[in-house]
Structure formats: structure tokens, C-alpha cells
A and B are shown apart, each in its own frame.
Chain A
Amino acid sequence: MDKTDKKVAVFACSGIGKPLGSVAREIGYELTERVRPDTTVLTCLALLVINDPDARKLITENPVIAIDGCVLDCAKKSLEANGAKSVKAYQSIDFFKKHSHLKPEGIAELNEAGKELAALAADELAGVVDELLAEEAKNV
């Protein structure tokens, strides 16, 4: 099977005003620490504000997953404004719609329902990571 050295760059909005922002952040951690630790890298969204050269290189040379909390799509907008190569964008609220019995609460500390929601979301995104890298491998 074709392989690539690339990784999927993961960015989360981490919005501080709503639990959905904390869910987005937690999804980022679940995806990059538990679900696909070897093929993803979590990077600070705020680095794009200061035109950090490593962050820019990462997003222009690797596939990107943006995880926003809500429909305001702040992470997606920042990534696209900074020339991200290809952005697959997701919103915590859409995962909530699929699992609406898991009501996230808390911002500084997410409740168990929020953490469980994030874990389920990360499991769903595993396939997206694999597809993105398979696409990269084809282009090698």
C-alpha cells in the first residue's frame, strides 16, 4: 500500500465562551492522543495569528482537520484565511445532534457526558484521517 510521511494537522477552536468549545478541544485531544496518535498532530490555532512559520508550513503542506464548537466556524475561517491546503471542517454541535443524550456542560472542566461525546466524535473522525492520508499517499 502506498504510504506517506505526512500527518493530518488537527486544529480545534477551543472557544472559551461555551461548552461546545471545550468539546472541540477535547475531540482534538482524543483524536491525536488516543485514536490516531501516529498520524495526526495537534497544533495551537492561535499560532496562525502570529504567522508562525512552522504552523503555516504545516497547514500548507499537510491535510487539515478543523474542529469548531459551533456554526461560527472560527477555526475553519482562520485556517482558510491563512492558506490551509485542504480543510475538512467539523462542528461539535453536529456530533451532539447525533448523540443528543450527551449534553456537554462545563467550560474549564468538561463533564463526563461532554468527554464521552468527544470520544465518540474522535472515533468517527478516525476514518477521515485515514482517508486523507490515503489520498496523500496516492499523490506521492
Chain B
Amino acid sequence: MSDKPRKVGIISCSGEAIPGGTISRVACRKVLDELRPGKSVTICLPLFIAGGEEERMFADLFPTITVDGCEKRCAALGTERLSGQPTKTLIVTEILKERGIPPTTRLRNLGPEEKAAVQVVAEEIAAAIDEILATE
């Protein structure tokens, strides 16, 4: 087995029609770009569904975290169907509820409330990555 550092694949629902989808998308990019740059890889859900070779290969070989905008859990269920159970599943609406943060309302042009929600969700994803890599 390779002795390279392990990485975790993050799959965002990126749901366009719900505020949680935007929070999920931006939070996942924040983790990739700022919080855990060498330890995470984003897997593009539409490409994953459409049969993208690289997305499917990564999801088959590496642990995955799905981040859904709402309780419909499209990313989690899609990943399960196409690749197997994700290592961890997160739902934006649940994370915000647990922290006592009101649900966000904007789909784009994020305001201070949305940015604060992004930070909270991103930190949750980062913590999940750390937990997974600690046990790999």
C-alpha cells in the first residue's frame, strides 16, 4: 500500500434551489482551499453521477464525507448508490440547528449570516476529516 498521506473526498450536494445547498458548496470549497488543503479532495457530484472516471475511482479507494444541504440527503444517497456507504454524512440544516443558528435564506450573494454559517459547517467538515485521518 502507498505510504503517501491519505486524503478524504468531500461530496457536496450543491443544491441550487435551497440555501443549505449553497452553504454546503461554499463550506466544502473553504475546507479544500483553506482549512484542510492537502488533506481533502472535492468530488463533483454531477460528474460523479454522470460516470466521471476520476470521481468514481477516488470514491471507491478513499474515505468520503457527504455534505447535504437538507434532509433529502441527495449526496449521501447518491454516493451510497454509486460507490458505497460514505464514511461520514453531514447535513447543513442539522448542523446549524445543533448550534442554535437560524437557517439561512439566501441562495447567492452571501451576507454575514450565511458566511458565519459557512464557517461553522466548514469547521465541522474539517473536524470530520481529522477524525477520519486519525483512524486510517
Contact = CB atoms under 8 A, between A and B. Distances in A.
Tell me, yes or no, whether A and B come into direct contact in the complex with CB atoms closer than 8 A. yes
Interface of A: 11-17, 21, 25-26, 28-29, 33, 42-50, 52, 72-75, 77-78, 107-109
B86 interface: no
7 contacts: A15-B44, A15-B46, A25-B16, A42-B16, A49-B45, A50-B74, A75-B46
Interface in B28-72: 28-30, 33, 42, 44-47, 49-52, 69, 72
A77 B44 contact: no
Contacts, number: 96
Contacts of B47: 15, 17, 72, 74
Contacts of B14: 14, 16, 25, 46
A48 B75 CA distance: 11
Contacts of A45: 16, 46
A16 B47 CA distance: 9
Interface stretch (B18-26, B89-97, B127-135): B18-26
Contacts of A28: 16
Contacts of B81: 49
Contact of A46 (B30, B51, B74): B74
Given A16-B25, A44-B15, A46-B49, 9 more contacts: A12-B16, A29-B107, A44-B13, A45-B46, A48-B49, A73-B50, A74-B47, A74-B49, A78-B50
